[in-house]
Amino acid sequence: MTIRVTPREETTQGFRTLVLVGSLFAGLIAVGIVFAVRGVNPLLAVWSIFRGSFGSAYGIKETITKAVPLILIGSGLALAYRAKFWNIGAESQLLLGAVFATWVGLTWGPHLPGWLIIPLMFIAGFIGGALWGTIPAILKIRFGINEVISTLMLNYVAAEIVKYLVVGPWKGETKFGYPYTDDLPDQAILRLLPLSRISPALVVLAVVLALVLTYIIFRTRFGYEIRVIGESPEAARYAGIDFFKTLLITMVISGGIAGIAGVGELSAIHHNLSYPETISAGYGFTAIIVAWLGKLNPAFVILSGLFFAGIIVGGDAIQMTLGLPAVTVSVFNGFLLVFLIAGDYLLYHRVKLVREHA
């Protein structure tokens, strides 16, 4: 018996869906094995996660809450990855967005009405994320520095900046020495649905931005140029596409939207700036898988964002019910991602077991 692989010319939508579902299923089996080795009944664990996320009103509300930053960041990453710009720095772009918004909120918040201060904070957050996002773009185009490295490094730099601010100059006077800034004034805080942490405005913003980005990618000249750059930089050069401008705008949008996600977390959930781990539960990294699972299409990212938000919420649930650490969710993320990219292989190849005649 040998395995024979031949290239696959065309795929149907049905087959693509089958591969996607199959990959997710295989990923869950792998996760199950890890649980089993650890002595946890895998079916129980998966059931607990599902029940925790989609099985109760509380779970659903939390899932939507966590889906918002994932959809926002994931959409922006989808744009960057279309240009094959490997932005792994969304986490820090989120943080910088929160930092800028905190400054605006604390400085001007007390003096301005809500209808003005909240948009100002979002604009500031967008600028913060965009500035942080364009640094690696400039480093790449002007100096040939790999963006994977620079975005990674900037993640750590941003985290240290936030830590420095909250234990140092911005430490809240009302916080009794804890590493928090003062709370934002009331008018700078987004209104939530009762008995939840869902901000309707944010949900609408996330969905609208995702759809706008879908339009940008598939219907605008800029989107066309991004896709050409991503698929073939040589052809893009031949076609006279301006790399610097295009990648810069890409990262302004990608970083800026991550910054907006940071403002959302700040204004709707935390109300103050604190340690980086508190501001973002690794959304910037999880969103990478979200973007990938959404096939780099922001419209699909809405769905994949909800899916992964569910896993995060479910992961919190099994912390309580099964006594597992929160980081367990990473096992899900890791395995699902591995199987998703492995599944792509089947889209381009036929794999057959054949009996070889000796």
Site for other proteins in 225-284 (CB under 8 A): 225, 227-228, 231-232, 234-235, 237-242
Rounded CA gap, 58 and 75, in Å?
A: 26
Q: Which amino acid is at 135?
A: I
Q: Which of 20, 60, 120, 148 binds other proteins (CB under 8 A)?
A: 148
Q: How far is the CB of 61 from other proteins (least distance, A)?
A: 25
Segment lying near other proteins (by CB under 8 A), choices 95-103, 140-148, 199-207, 302-310: 140-148
Place of tokens 């900037």: 154
Q: Which amino acid is at 78?
A: A
Rounded CA gap, 129 and 42, in Å?
A: 39
For other proteins, the closer of residues 141 and 201 by Cβ is 141
Q: How far is the CB of 342 from other proteins (least distance, A)?
A: 5
Rounded CA gap, 223 and 242, in Å?
A: 13
Rounded CA gap, 99 and 103, in Å?
A: 6
- Give the footprint of other proteins on residues 37-66 (CB under 8 A): 38
Rounded CA gap, 192 and 196, in Å?
A: 7
Q: How far is the CB of 10 from other proteins (least distance, A)?
A: 8
Segment lying near other proteins (by CB under 8 A), choices 52-60, 62-70, 138-146, 203-211: 138-146
- Give the footprint of other proteins on residues 22-41 (CB under 8 A): 34-35, 38
- Give the footprint of other proteins on residues 65-94 (CB under 8 A): 86, 88
Which residue in 284, 281, 291, 340 sits closest to 313, CA to CA? 281
Segment lying near other proteins (by CB under 8 A), choices 50-58, 64-72, 94-102, 153-161: 153-161
- Give the footprint of other proteins on residues 277-336 (CB under 8 A): 285, 288-289, 292, 323-335
> DSSP character for 55?
S
Q: Is the dihedral of CA 118, 269, 203, 19 positive or negative?
A: positive
